[in-house]
Each structure stands twice: as structure tokens, then as C-alpha cells.
Structure 1
Amino acid sequence: MTGASTLAWMTLLLPLASAAVITLGTLKNHRLSANLSIGAILGAFVCSLLLFLSASSGESNLTWIAIGDFNATIGVKLDRLSALMLLVVTGVGALIHWYSQGYMEGDRSYARYFASLSLFSFSMLGIVLATNLMQMFIFWELVGVSSYLLIGFWHERPAAADACKKAFITNRLGDFGFLIGIIMVWAAAGSLNFGLLEKAMQEQPELLGASAGLIGLLLFCGAMGKSAQFPLHVWLPDAM
């Protein structure tokens, strides 16, 4: 899946490149910053569309930490579900970017907004393409960071500053449960790779033992926080 993996990496990295270029080089040029951000998400959408139409599947991994027997990888995993979600994230993201041109027009931090929006897009795409739970958790936290930046964009306003702190703290509660669940999966299965976990569960359905229900609940805690589900919903009204 060489061609498909290249498209997947491009889908992931285009918004990151946009955020980096805006932050490091074009903050004073509002129009160029917006165009870079919009161009990146549109490019990611085109790549996503090609991936969806190609119906490719598989994964591509790079080793980023290797210590003794411990080997942590970062990669991209493609299947029909991830291809569909790539279209959703980049498609909706492109519409948000386009709308933001007019909505944020005249704001003195116009370029910073688009840098934060590109970072958010990168983080969301990282979750969709993650090959393992560790990578998913890293991008999950990046979504939290970028959400903090966007919710508190007008940080000089006390209400916005309070709202972003409330969202950040509330989400950390859910993420703590998510992290504990990931650790329990590692302890029980010895792997966090989705493909290996699926294979192991098929061969040994009782792999997680009596803790399976608890692990599922802990992993769900992360989703509860990010999607503002009861009782971790309290941050959403202030963030709107």
C-alpha cells in the first residue's frame, strides 16, 4: 500500500505543516495564513477522497522509541471506517475553515486562529489514522490542547479564559480514565497495536479476563469527556 500510505501520511501532515508555517513565519500576514490553512485542509480532503475511492487497507508504521524490548511506533492505519472518517473530518473541517474566513475577518489574531484550527485538524486526523492506543492517546491529548487554544482564543475576555480552563480540567478527568484503561490493556495483552489486539482477541476471547468490562468503561471515559457526555458535560455550555 505504498501509494495509499503516502496519501495517508499527506492527509495527516498537511495541516501540521500549515500550523507550523503559520506559527513560525506568517503570523503577520493574515490573508496568507488563512490561505495556507485552507489549502492544507483542502489538500487533505482531496487525499482522503482518493483513499476512500481506492478502498485501500493496511498500515504503515515508523519506530520512534526503541528501548530494549520496548518498541513504540507511530503510523497510519487504513480501512473502510478510517477512510470514511477521514472524509468526514477533512470535509467538515474544510467547511469550517472556509466559513472562518469571514467570521474572523478583522480580528487582530486572525492568523493565530488559523494556526490553532490547523493544529486541531491534525490532531483529529491523528486519532482517525492511529495504529495503536498509545498513538491515539497522544493525538487525543493534542485535541485537548488545540481545543483549549480555540476555546480560549479571546483569552483577554475573562469568560473565555475561564471556559478554556474548565474544559481542559474536565477533559483531563476523562482522559485519566482513558489512560488507566490503556495501561490495563497493555498489562493484559502485552500490546497496544489495534491489529495485534484484534488478532489476539479472536484467538483468545477471554484475553482481558474479568477486567474487560472495567477496561471498556475506562476507555469510554475519554470519549465522555471529549463529547461532553454526562457527567463530564459541564464544560460545553461555557465553551459555546
Structure 2
Amino acid sequence: MRKDPARCFDLFYRTGLARTTDPTCFEELVEYADELADYKRSHPGDDIGTLLLRSVDSGQLQGQRELRSMILSVLGAGHVTTVQSVGCAVLRLLENPDQLASIFAGSPSWAQSVNEMLRYDSPIQATVNRYATEDMRIGEVDVAKGDVVLISIAAANRDPERFEDPERFDVTRPSRSNLAFGHGTHLCLGAHLARIEGEVALEMLFRQLKDLRLAIDPAEVVWSYGPMLRGPRELPVTFSR
């Protein structure tokens, strides 16, 4: 039943994020979700999987199909974007060791630093497609009824009217809200958890591996998973055992 996290990430990528999707990967994801549900039924605990199973039993979730969808949503939303976010953050901190040193010196805090990391490298680059319900004009662009409207979160987080010198990575930048997790009724439900994950993961990583270094030039990093997501395809590093 156990599956390598890297394999899960690859399955999600090949199922819905790659330009050419592989339907067999979705079948494997579905099988994994069902196996995970079966395992949690026989091994209940204080976890989300058990909570979802109880929701089926109480009628809040309508059967195995909805349970499967919820499990896949939690796995996808809770893992894929976190991988992108942490990967980008590690790259930027290794590129800017002086800023990493200032964080460990106590100013700024990890929370403030993670906010800048999310602004600078938005894990989710754009919203899902929206469709104009009537003719309209946005800025200097005419949009006809039925046209696709795609909102660039990445561009909004580099808006010079909101952020001074937005192309500069600076963990000491005064904290301002950004659109990394969306806005309003569409704000990501896991936003607070994701921020804490970033703070804890990065502090533990750099505290444990004090000589962590990039093994390649930053310009050689391959960015992938677009157009909706963006992050390093891999991030070769070196460190002492």
C-alpha cells in the first residue's frame, strides 16, 4: 500500500499537469486512494483519512466515489504545491546566504520570510479558466462574451504598484498580503497550514544541514510543471553527512 512520495507527485503531474497527460497514471492514483481508504479502515487514528471515513459513515460524504475524490484532493493540494514552495524557497535562500543568515540571527522571522518566498515564487502561477459572461473591457483589452479570462497570480505578486522593486527577493521586505493562496471566497483552505509547513521544514532543513550548498549554477535549474504550477524539476545540492 505504501507509495513513494516522489511517485505520487509524478502521478499527479502526469495526470493533470503535464502537457500530454497519461490516463494510466490516474488509474494508479485511484487504486492508491482506495488502498489508502482500506488501510485506514483497519488502522484508524487521529488523522484526516480516518476523519474522512467517519464522514462517509455519518452520511456527510456520499460513498466511495466522493471519499476517493476527497483523498485525492488532500493528497494533491497538500503535497504538490508544498513541494514546489519548499523547492523554490531552498533555491532562493541558497542563492542569498546573507538573507538566510539574517533569518537565523532572528530578524526577520521565518513567518515573514516565508511570506516573501510565496510572493516571489508563487507555487500556483495562475487561476483556473474563467469565462466572460458578457462583453467587457479589462484595462485596455476588450473581452468578448465567452472568452477565457486567465488571472496570473505570479504577475499580481510582482505588481510594482503594490510591491516596491518587485523583482528583488528580500526576506526583510515589510510583510504585505499577496495572492499566493488566492483571495476572498477562493482563498486556499490550507493557507495557514502551508505557511507553517514552510516555516518548520525550512528551519529544520537549514538547521540540520548547515553547509547545504547548490551543486549547480542557479541558472542551470530547470523550471517545470507549467503553466499552472512552477518550481524546480530537481534541485541538486551538496552537504556533509
TM superposition score normalised by structure 2: 0.31
More helix by share: 1
